[in-house]
Structure 1
Amino acid sequence: MELIHLTPHSDVDPSQPLRAPGDILLHAYLIPNALNPARLARRTGIPSNQIKAFIADTHPITPKIALRLSLAFDTTAFYWLALQARYDLERAKPVVRAYRPLVD
């Protein structure tokens, strides 16, 4: 049984604007649910300073955090990790483009 179909060329819709996972957490989940970092911390066991760090874009969403967020918001942990992975990859592209491949 295949749960998700990933290929070596799987990607996200490039027309979607890049947003930090913390920005999505704040605007799509915390504000609409009238939650603040302290209330989310009590609900999930994630320290509130860590939640504030996600929102400030100074700390990435880890697998453990993704699992806790998935339980709190009826999402999947994969959703949160995919948001983080896309964000990290897009931010790394300018740095990697500066390097040229070795040609023999």
Structure 2
Amino acid sequence: MELIQLTPHLDVDPSQPLRAPGDILLHAYLIPSALNPAQLARRTGISARDIKAFIDDTRPITPKIAIRLALALDTTAFYWLALQARYDLEREKPVVRAYRPLVD
């Protein structure tokens, strides 16, 4: 039994601006809920330093962190991992295009 059906062309709306998962965490969850990183740290068991690193975009959201955020913020872990994956993929596109192999 499949819980999620993924297709090879699963994509997001390209008209939406690229935002870091930490930016979304801050503006869509912390600020509206009047939470600071220390309060979220107590709710999730994630260190406040790590939460600040997500917000500052100096650390990616891992599966373990995604599960903790999902439980505390009434989302899913997949949501956080999808945000991180989209962000990582979009940031790598210019790098990969620069190294495109020549076709004979």
* TM-score band w.r.t. shorter chain: over 0.9
1:16-58, Cα deviation, whole Å (9 max, x unpaired)? 1110000000000001111000000011000000000000000
Q: 2:28 aligns to what? A: 28
Structure-2-length-normalised TM-score: 0.95
CA distance in 2, matches of 1:2, 1:15: 30
Displaced runs of 4 or more, over 3 A: none
CA distance in 2, matches of 1:83, 1:58: 15
1:43-82, Cα deviation, whole Å (9 max, x unpaired)? 1000000000000000000000000000001000000000
| Equivalent residues, number | 104
Q: 1:61 aligns to what? A: 61
Once the 2 structures are TM-superposed, how far is the Cα of residue 103 of structure 1 from its aligned partner? 2.8
Matched, 1:81 2:71: no
Structure-1-length-normalised TM-score: 0.95
Q: 2:72 aligns to what? A: 72
Instruction: Provide the identity percentage.
Output: 87
* Aligned AA (1:7): T
Gaps of 5+ in 2: none
Gaps of 5+ in 1: none
Q: What is the root-mean-square deviation in Å for CA atoms of aligned residues?
A: 1.0
SS in 1 for 2:91: helix
